[in-house]
């Protein structure tokens, strides 16, 4: 039986922690409600933005379950991130996500040891065979150290190991080439924040947008215009709705840091959404200069006075 094709704009949501680093499950409901009110298709809990590497296996299962319930209650699809180094852990979390009602799972390539292609093939084949919901491969060589070529990614789809890919290299050509090497049932997701219109108007089916945690309505509008092939309007909206905030996530502070996760969480708090703290070693505080830039940017959009 064919699996439902994944498409749309998905937000890789934050994990709100309490100050003592316990998970704030009540705040998860508020984050899902906020995103549900702002026009996105769905959410991806426990991804990079969700501090996956700071979660124990049982916590990742619990966060995914909480977001599945809260997401569905707010009209959102939920693709649960179940990435881990060990294949058996991914299978355990993926089966738990399916049991909890997830619409799919996203699985980043195993990191650190850099598995070879034979190992990766078996990894994804095992996961795919263990569940009946779609499997999105998260290709992020910057974090995982695993860089794959288009032919291998296409082979994983063509031979029934994955159903979709979040392509984080942000290379427009890769989207085109992946489509050429597969078919229209393969869900290709642009996985960065700077060139969505170029990808969505041509070859991609969806967009996974981290900055959408803080600016979901803006990104949802661009996604919709691009998918409707209103390219000129989409490009204009990109200039007006993304460029004014992009400096927050691309320009470093005087210490040379781009504290993107802290900016998202602090910005959500400014917008009235309880986003909590981060887990160490990530510190939750921001320099005053960054707080000023953040406030000025949110004022530009009319979100704070």
Contact call for residues 70 and 42 (beta carbons, < 8 A): no
Most distant CA pair in the chain: distance in Å?
55
Tell me how crowded residue 57 is: count the other CB atoms within 10 A of its CB. Answer: 15
pTM for the model = 0.96
Burial code (b: 16+ CB inside 10 Å, e: under 16) for 148-169 equals bebeebbbbbeeebbbbbbbbb
Place of tokens 């089916």: 205
Partner residues linked to 136 by β-bridges: 106, 164
Tell me how crowded residue 180 is: count the other CB atoms within 10 A of its CB. Answer: 11
- Measured CA to CA, the distance from residue 242 to residue 222 in angstroms comes to 9
Choose the CATH number for 8-230 among 3.90.700.10, 3.20.20.70, 1.10.287.3610, 2.160.20.10.
3.20.20.70
Task: Give, for all 305 residues of the chain, the pLDDT tens digit.
Answer: 578 999 999 999 999 999 999 999 999 999 999 999 999 999 999 999 999 999 999 999 999 999 999 999 999 999 999 999 999 999 999 999 999 999 999 999 999 888 999 999 999 999 999 999 999 999 988 888 888 999 999 999 999 999 999 998 777 888 899 999 999 999 999 998 888 898 898 889 999 999 999 999 999 999 999 999 999 999 999 999 999 999 999 999 999 999 999 999 999 999 999 999 999 999 999 999 999 999 999 999 999 99
Contact call for residues 121 and 134 (beta carbons, < 8 A): no
């Amino acid at each position: 039986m064919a699996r439902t094709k994944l498409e749309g704009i998905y937000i890789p949501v934050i994990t709100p922690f309490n100050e003592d680093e316990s998970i704030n499950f009540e705040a998860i409901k508020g984050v899902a409600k906020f995103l549900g009110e702002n026009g996105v298709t769905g959410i991806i809990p426990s991804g990079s933005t969700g501090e996956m590497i700071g979660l124990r296996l049982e916590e990742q299962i619990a966060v995914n379950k909480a977001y599945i319930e809260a997401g569905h209650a707010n009209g959102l699809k939920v693709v649960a991130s179940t990435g881990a180094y060990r294949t058996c852990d991914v299978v355990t979390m993926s089966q738990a996500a399916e049991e909890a009602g997830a619409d799919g799972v996203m699985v980043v390539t195993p990191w650190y040891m850099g598995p070879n292609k034979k190992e990766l093939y078996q990894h994804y084949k095992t996961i795919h065979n263990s569940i009946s919901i779609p499997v999105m491969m998260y290709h992020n060589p910057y974090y995982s150290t695993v860089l794959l070529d288009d032919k291998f990614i296409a082979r994983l789809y063509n031979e029934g190991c994955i159903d979709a890919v979040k392509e984080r290299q942000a290379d427009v050509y890769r989207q085109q080439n992946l489509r050429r090497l597969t078919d229209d049932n393969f869900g290709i997701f642009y996985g960065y924040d700077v060139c969505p219109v170029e990808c969505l108007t041509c070859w991609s089916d969806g967009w996974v947008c981290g900055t959408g945690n803080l600016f979901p309505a803006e990104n949802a509008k661009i996604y919709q215009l691009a998918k409707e092939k209103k390219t000129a309007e989409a490009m204009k909206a990109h200039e007006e709705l993304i460029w004014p905030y992009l400096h927050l996530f691309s320009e470093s502070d005087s210490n040379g840091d781009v504290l993107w996760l802290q900016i998202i969480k602090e910005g959500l708090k400014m917008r009235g959404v309880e986003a909590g703290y981060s887990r160490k070693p990530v510190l939750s505080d921001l320099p005053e200069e960054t707080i000023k830039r953040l406030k000025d940017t949110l004022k530009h959009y009319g979100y704070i006075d």
